[in-house]
């Protein structure tokens, strides 16, 4: 894993361990979450075809101007609800949640709960 910090290398190990078990399909895609210090990204992925079905992040033009700082819980909630709205428009109601090795806490949890509130089930 090279010169990565021990915190990030631990996350990458958790990510690989989870990816062995979790697979997304076209009926039930995988919701992948990535967070950096400034932004949060969410994708719905069909692993059988190797295709990203939807992607929303704090960099998305429709969301970018909605908040002052994009690295907080409010921004994560906005990304989660926007992703859920787009998924429901595309007839996707159930997903598999992949927290990408991050702890289910803070921004990751806020994104997941906002998606559930909008009607996604996982």
- 86 vs 1, residue with greater confidence: 86
The string of pLDDT tens digits covering residues 38-95 is 999 999 999 999 999 999 999 999 999 888 999 999 999 999 999 999 999 999 999 9
* Model pLDDT, residue 66: 87
Q: Taking all residues of the chain, what is their mean pLDDT, rounded to a whole number?
A: 94
- How big is the CA angle at 20 (ends 19 and 21), to the nearest 5 degrees? 90
pLDDT of residue 67: 87
pLDDT in the model for residue 2: 57
- Provide the β-strand partners of residue 103: none
- Concatenating the DSSP letter of every residue in the chain gives -TT--HHHHHHHHHHHHHHHH----SSS-EEEEEE-SS-EEEEEEETTTTEEEEEEETTSHHHHTT-S-SSSHHHHHHHHHHHHHHHHHTT--B-EEE-TT--SSTHHHHHHHHHHHTT-B-
Asked if 42 and 56 touch (Cβ cutoff 8 Å), the reply is: yes
CATH class of the domain whose range is 6-117: alpha beta
Q: Record the pTM.
A: 0.92
Structural domain spans, the chain: 6-117
């Amino acid at each position: 894993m090279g010169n990565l910090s021990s915190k990030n290398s631990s996350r990458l190990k958790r990510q690989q361990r989870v990816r062995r078990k979790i697979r997304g399909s076209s009926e039930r895609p995988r919701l992948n979450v990535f967070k950096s210090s400034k932004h949060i990204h969410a994708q719905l992925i069909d692993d059988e075809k190797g295709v990203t079905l939807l992607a929303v992040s704090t960099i998305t033009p429709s969301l970018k101007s909605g908040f002052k700082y994009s690295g907080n819980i409010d921004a994560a909630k906005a990304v989660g609800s926007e992703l859920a709205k787009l998924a429901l428009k595309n007839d996707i109601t159930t997903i598999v949640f992949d927290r990408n090795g991050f702890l289910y806490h803070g921004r990751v949890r806020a994104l997941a709960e906002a998606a559930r509130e909008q009607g996604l089930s996982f």
